[in-house]
């Protein structure tokens, strides 16, 4: 008796390990999915017929939708997808939602479906005739394409289970409609970007944090990974799909989850997955206003922007390349890996070596970049000119500073140090990973730096550790106030004058094209309107060697014509 049962159980056809029979593509009355015919028991016939098929291969049993599809396009795509053809047309004969599921060539009448279903119900499986937000198909994927793109594998390196059909990418390149081996009938695991990597080989991706991070979601909504299986719990496992969604994507470009560019980043970088809550920084009063622009950024835009001014996360970060590699100024750290920049010589670079090169993309003479914050004798807001190593003075961003004696510097800073732009311009409280996302202080400064000066003693600023916290974070307040360098610092800062640092010092630097070593050493570039010409009609500083000089000016009721020290 027992062996009879065993024979019955092992009767062929009754056991389907990974088969269309136990998949959602079994549209028969006995299918396991949500879309089932009212009475038809056959499975294959919803797509195939053994006789009089159209198209002939693969013995197709469904109508050509005969519609014109809206196709995917992108500024960087080298492929030329045409209207869907090959097997992709077969898939679309259900998945574009235009043809009843039960409309079969070999049957004269439409086979009815349960629950009143006729065409594919709305949802992720219904791609519609708008394929603008779907991974392109029906394009020739040959060696020339791989070469032109630069980040695609040569077709000979595309290995099973991923395959091309007559040299073209089709739906079946990624999906096997007969076997639901991986979710959504995919031929390979999408976890750890395995399926995508079959064709795509992004520069620096292997070492990128988005490919390697084992960070998990803390469960606070929104779900950063709404389209991936629950078994994908880390950033690395979610891989490409941490940001991209190959079908019905939220964006029309780059197949991103969301149309608004920054939303694709901030659903992880909001404290729910990534350690740092960047979203909070971008809600502060002074920020790189990533929320202000939509569909302006393009991946192939010039390194230096002169038109279409904007800022998005990806203008400073390459999500495929970003990593946690630390660096020492002026070198760009992992967060800026793979990002375009403009060199100190004004040359576009495809991958910034030095951090300031990224800032120069927009702040080196671009129209629309912020004007100089303070009106000065010498007007300049081009950072490339302000930080040029040949300048008479500058904060040491692109090269070691000109002044070899800066006694106020707090260790480890010294006269031979190099600093980052982010040494000053960073989020308040951003600590050990400073970045100019947003701050409560103007000009995205990490600490307070009051510049209020109405030109009189009463309209100046009261000196305190907090009033000039930014400057004092490197330049010892005690040293400054005890006049170790400039002998009149204390007098100028405190009650007799009440002038802020900013009134005399131009923090970025003075371009050699406008200033000179005699008049503009020590970042001297007076604030006009506050500092006015002397009784002799002159407004200038003349350096006379270390800690000695002359000033010609009128300021806070005092006339120096000149005053020497």
Partner 1 sequence: MKKLNLLLTTIALIMFAQIINAQILNSAHDFKSKTWNTTGEICKVCHIPHNGAMLAEAPLWNHALSAVTNYSTYASSTLNATVGQPDGNSKLCLSCHDGSVALNNFGGNGVVTPNVYATGAALLGTDLSNDHPVSFTYNDALATTDGSLFPPSTALSGLGGTINADMLFAGKMQCASCHDVHNGATGTPAHLLIKSNAASALCLTCHDK
Complex with partner 1: residue 41 or 324, whichever CB lies closer: 41
**Distance from C-alpha of 399 to C-alpha of 340, rounded to nearest angstrom:** 20
Tell me how far, at minimum, the Cβ of 168 lies from partner 1, in Å.
10
Angstrom distances, CA of residue 129 to CA of 82, 120, 184, 227, 503: 14, 12, 20, 21, 63
d(CA 170, CA 91): 10
CB of 10 to partner 1, least distance (A): 9
Tell me how far, at minimum, the Cβ of 162 lies from partner 1, in Å. Answer: 14
- Residue 197 CB, nearest distance to partner 1 (Å)? 22
What CA–CA distances, in Å, run from 69 to 65, 118, 138, 476? 10, 21, 12, 67
d(CA 166, CA 187): 18
The nearest distance, CB 15 to partner 1, in angstroms, is 11
CB of 134 to partner 1, least distance (A): 23
DSSP assignment of 217-240 equals --SPSSPS-TTS-TT--BHHHHGG
Measured distance CA(362)–CA(303) in Å, rounded: 9
- Judged by beta carbon, residue 166 or residue 231, the one nearer partner 1 is 166
Distance of closest approach, residue 93 Cβ to partner 1, in angstroms? 16
Cβ contacts of 443 within 8 Å, gap of 6 or more: 286, 370, 373, 425
Minimum distance from residue 21 beta carbon to partner 1 (Å) = 7
Task: For partner 1, give the closer residue by CB, 106 or 203.
Answer: 106
SS3 543: strand
Are 449 and 502 in contact by the 8 Å Cβ rule? The answer is yes
- Positions that interact with partner 1 (CB under 8 A): 1, 4, 8, 11-13, 16, 19-21, 28, 30, 41-45, 48, 50-59, 165-166, 178-179
Question: What is the residue whose two structure tokens read 């490409």?
Answer: 240
Q: State the CB neighbour count (10 A cutoff) for residue 284.
A: 15
> Closest CB to partner 1 among 174 and 266?
174
Shortest Cβ distance from residue 48 to partner 1 (Å)? Answer: 8
Q: How many CB atoms lie within 10 A of CB 189?
A: 18
Nearer Cβ to partner 1 (16/565): 16
Enter the DSSP assignment of 539.
-
Give bridge partners of residue 140 from the DSSP assignment.
168
> For 197, which DSSP code?
H
CA distance 541 to 552: 6
**Interatomic CA distance for residues 171 and 165, integer angstroms:** 10
- 28 vs 128, beta carbon nearer partner 1: 28
Alpha-carbon distance of 281 to 290, in angstroms, equals 11
45 vs 305, beta carbon nearer partner 1? 45
Cβ distance to partner 1 smaller for residue 9 or 275: 9
Cβ proximity of 337 and 204 under 8 Å: yes
For residue 340, which of 365, 367, 368, 312 has the smallest C-alpha distance? Answer: 312
In the complex, the smallest distance separating the C-beta of residue 40 from partner 1, rounded to whole angstroms, is 10
Minimal distance in Å, beta carbon 76 to partner 1? 29
Residue 364 main-chain phi, psi, to 5 deg? -120, 60
Nearer to partner 1, 60 or 387 (CB): 60
Residues with Cβ within 8 Å of 548's Cβ and at least 6 positions away in sequence, in order, are: 564, 565
CB of 364 to partner 1, least distance (A): 54
23 or 374: CB nearest partner 1: 23
State whether residue 542 is helix, strand or coil.
Answer: strand
Which residue's CB is nearer to partner 1, number 45 or number 364?
Answer: 45
Which residue lies nearer to partner 1 by CB, 37 or 422? 37
């Amino acid at each position: 008796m027992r062996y009879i049962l065993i024979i019955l159980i092992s009767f062929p056809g009754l056991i389907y390990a990974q088969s269309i029979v136990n998949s959602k593509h079994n549209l028969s009355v006995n299918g396991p999915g949500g879309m089932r015919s009212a009475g038809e028991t056959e499975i294959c016939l919803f797509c195939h017929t053994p006789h009089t098929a159209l198209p002939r291969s693969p013995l197709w049993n469904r109508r050509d939708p005969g519609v014109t599809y809206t196709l995917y396009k992108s500024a960087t795509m080298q492929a030329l997808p045409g209207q869907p053809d090959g097997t992709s047309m077969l898939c679309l004969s259900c998945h574009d939602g235009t043809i009843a599921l039960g409309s079969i060539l070999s049957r004269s009448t439409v086979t009815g479906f349960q629950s009143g279903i006729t065409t594919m119900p709305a949802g992720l499986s219904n791609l519609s005739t708008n394929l603008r937000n779907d991974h392109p198909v029906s394009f020739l994927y040959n060696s020339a394409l791989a070469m032109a793109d630069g980040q695609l594998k040569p077709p000979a390196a595309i290995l099973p289970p991923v395959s091309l059909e007559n040299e073209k990418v089709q739906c079946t390149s990624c999906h096997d409609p007969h076997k639901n081996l991986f979710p959504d009938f995919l031929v390979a695991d999408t976890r750890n970007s395995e399926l995508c990597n079959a064709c795509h080989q992004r520069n620096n991706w292997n070492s990128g944090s988005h490919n390697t991070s084992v960070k998990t979601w803390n469960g606070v909504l929104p779900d950063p990974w709404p389209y991936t299986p629950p078994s994908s719990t880390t950033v690395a496992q979610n891989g490409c799909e941490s940001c991209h969604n190959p079908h019905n994507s939220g964006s029309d470009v780059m197949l991103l989850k969301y149309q608004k560019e920054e939303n694709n980043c901030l659903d992880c970088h909001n404290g729910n997955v990534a350690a740092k809550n960047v979203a909070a920084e971008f809600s502060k009063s002074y920020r790189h206003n990533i929320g202000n622009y939509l569909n302006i950024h393009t991946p192939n835009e010039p390194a230096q922007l002169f038109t279409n001014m904007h800022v998005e996360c990806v203008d400073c970060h390459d999500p495929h390349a970003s990593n946690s590699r630390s660096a020492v100024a002026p070198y760009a750290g992992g967060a800026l890996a793979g990002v375009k920049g403009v060199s100190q010589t004004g040359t576009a670079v495809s991958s910034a070596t030095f951090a300031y090169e990224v800032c120069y993309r927009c702040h080196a003479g671009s129209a629309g970049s912020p004007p100089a914050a303070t009106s000065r004798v010498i007007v300049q807001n081009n950072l490339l000119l302000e930080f040029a190593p040949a300048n008479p003075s500058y904060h040491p961003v692109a090269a070691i500073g000109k002044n070899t004696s800066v006694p106020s510097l707090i260790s480890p800073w010294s006269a031979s140090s190099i600093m980052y732009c982010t040494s000053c311009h960073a989020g308040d409280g951003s600590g050990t990973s400073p970045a100019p996302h947003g701050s409560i202080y103007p000009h995205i400064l990490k600490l307070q730096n009051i510049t209020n000066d109405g030109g009189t003693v009463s309209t100046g600023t009261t000196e305190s550790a907090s009033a000039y916290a930014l400057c004092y974070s490197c330049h010892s307040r005690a040293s400054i106030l005890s006049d170790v360098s400039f002998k009149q610092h204390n007098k100028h800062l405190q009650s007799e004058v009440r002038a802020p640092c900013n009134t005399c010092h131009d923090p970025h630097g003075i371009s050699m094209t406008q200033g000179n070593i005699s008049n503009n050493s020590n970042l001297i570039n007076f604030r006009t309107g506050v500092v006015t010409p002397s009784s002799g009609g002159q407004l200038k500083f003349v350096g006379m060697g270390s800690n000695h000089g002359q000033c010609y000016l009128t300021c806070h009721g005092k006339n120096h014509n000149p005053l020497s020290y």
